[in-house]
């Protein structure tokens, strides 16, 4: 990871788990070269990050971030399907960071049948430290961003928007596609409405970082997404 201009918002990623889930960490560039392994010893040597959707292997996430001089300040969930929360509890234990989710996602957090983990032979639940309302203004790692409720993929799916032109979209919006709605709590009509009412009103050059697949932009999806 090469450094960009100091003070700009940067997005790093990992792809983890059996269905190749994108996990993102967002931070403010501080001039440090995080592309090489480092061995920070002082608290001030670390760059704080906000981590989204620890899909699996919380210890691996912690180790990879730590050796590059990153420290997790907070953990946010776009939704609570098993492939987005599998590493969350372990990452919380290792970092002390709190976990936050949208308030309508409580059932998926608590029910392994509903969040599909039971179907894959590994029942997973998560107890967030806080449930947030739609429109919540979040502050972590020196960053400010907003929770946008986007139900459809699940009852409590949400996205996180940074005014710097970054959207963490979870499984709501993909490149030329959208999240599945045939799982418990899913609704295609709600998902389409969420995309039009909450996401397509954002600037066209907003970069979209989805839960699976490649990055896209709001402008591209408005013109080309066949589901919307």
How confident is the model over 47-100, as pLDDT tens digits?
999 999 999 999 999 999 999 999 999 999 999 999 999 999 999 999 999 999
Residue 65 belongs to domain spanning? 9-224
Domain with residue 109: its CATH number is 3.60.15.10
Q: Is residue 107 part of a domain?
A: yes
Q: Is residue 2 part of a domain?
A: no
For the full predicted model, state whether its pTM sits above 0.85: yes
Could you tell me which residues are beta bridge partners of residue 160?
A: 147, 168
* Residue 9: how many other CB atoms lie within 10 Å: 17
Q: What are the Cα distances from residue 91, in Å, to 52, 71, 115, 132, 210?
A: 11, 11, 19, 20, 21
Structural domains of the chain, count: 1
Q: Is residue 1 part of a domain?
A: no
pLDDT for 167 beyond 60:
yes
> What span, in angstroms and rounded, lies between the C-alpha atoms of 21 and 86?
10
> What span, in angstroms and rounded, lies between the C-alpha atoms of 114 and 136?
25
Q: Is residue 4 part of a domain?
A: no
């Amino acid at each position: 990871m090469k450094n960009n201009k100091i003070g700009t918002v940067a997005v790093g990623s990992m792809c983890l788990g059996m269905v190749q889930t994108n996990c993102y960490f967002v931070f403010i560039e501080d001039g440090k070269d995080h592309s090489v392994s480092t061995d920070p010893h002082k608290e001030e040597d670390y760059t704080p990050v906000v981590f989204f959707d620890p899909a699996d292997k919380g210890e691996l996430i912690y180790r990879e971030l730590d050796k590059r001089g990153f420290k997790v300040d907070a953990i946010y969930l776009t939704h609570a399907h098993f492939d987005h929360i599998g590493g969350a509890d372990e990452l919380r234990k290792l970092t002390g960071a709190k976990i936050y989710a949208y308030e309508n996602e409580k059932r998926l957090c608590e029910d392994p049948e509903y969040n599909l983990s039971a179907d894959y032979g590994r029942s997973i639940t998560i107890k967030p430290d806080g449930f947030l309302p739609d429109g919540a203004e979040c502050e972590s790692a020196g960053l400010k961003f907003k929770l946008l409720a986007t139900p459809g993929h699940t009852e409590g799916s949400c996205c996180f928007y940074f005014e710097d032109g970054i959207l963490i979209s979870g499984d709501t919006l993909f490149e030329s596609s959208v999240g599945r709605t045939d799982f418990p709590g899913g609704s295609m009509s709600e998902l389409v409405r969420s995309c039009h009412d909450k996401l397509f009103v954002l600037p066209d050059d907003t970069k979209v970082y989805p839960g699976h697949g490649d990055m896209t932009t709001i402008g591209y999806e408005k013109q080309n997404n066949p589901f919307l």
